[in-house]
Structure 1
């Protein structure tokens, strides 16, 4: 592969919005295992949230996809393959990126509970601030002074 071809492939992989309009691959080999990637992503995404029992499975899938992406990117960066092989790897990488984007957009099922806890903590901090600002800090008694 020529240097300008290698740079062109790397630019395509790193381009902002490279995944727009790209389909998630039906099947892909990840870490030596064939995976029905499209089916997996749509099965998880259909729920719109990640149930607590599925969170570890999804996190593991994301880690494996990131690792696979790096492994496929390496031969392109080193220029040790033909341009055609590089183009195929770029297509695979962009498909992996598309799947990762879809999985990253999911939110935990307990997001509502997390929001409630955050709101309660915010209210507590606000009340403490108001008490201090108004001189009603119960932690510092004004009695017992000199």
Structure 2
């Protein structure tokens, strides 16, 4: 694959609107296991919430999908593949993104908790900024983020 073709494929993956109009794959091979992804997501969505006994399964599926996505992106970025294979990988990555978006949408949103979490993160960033700006950061923490 030519460098400009690889760049085009990477841009398609990173485009925020990539999942608009994309469909969730019917099935997907994740870590060697065939998953009926579309059926699982639609069945879970019909219930309007994730039952406690399915929550662990959903969380594990999201983790596996993210890992699979990273591996496929890596193949596009570094792999010795032809353009057609890259196209298929990009389409599958976009499908995974669409599935992850649907799975994230199943989570009940606790707005108050989300606001509190964001405010705490903002305070921590501000505090770290002030420490660095005033030179009060300890030398052991400089390389960490």
The TM-score range, normalised by the shorter chain, is: 0.7 to 0.9
Q: CA deviation at 1:107?
A: 2.0
CA RMSD of aligned residues (A): 1.8
Are positions 1:76 and 2:76 aligned together? yes
Look up the match of 1:126: none
Q: CA deviation at 1:51?
A: 1.3
Look up the match of 2:31: 31
Q: What is the CA deviation profile of residues 59-90 of structure 1, one whole-angstrom value per residue up to 9, with x for unaligned ones?
A: 00000000010111111111421000000000
Look up the match of 2:134: none
Q: CA deviation at 1:48?
A: 1.6
Look up the match of 2:17: 17
Mapped partners of 2:76, 2:107: distance in 1: 33
* Kept after mapping to 2: 8 A contact 1:6/1:79: no
Look up the match of 1:65: 65
- TM-score, normalised with respect to structure 2: 0.73
Aligned residues: 113
- TM-score, normalised with respect to structure 1: 0.73
Note closer, same or farther for the CA distance 1:79–1:31 as it changes in structure 2 (3 Å cut): closer
Unpaired runs of 5+ in structure 2? Answer: 114-145
Q: CA deviation at 1:21?
A: 0.4
Mapped partners of 1:40, 1:13: distance in 2: 24
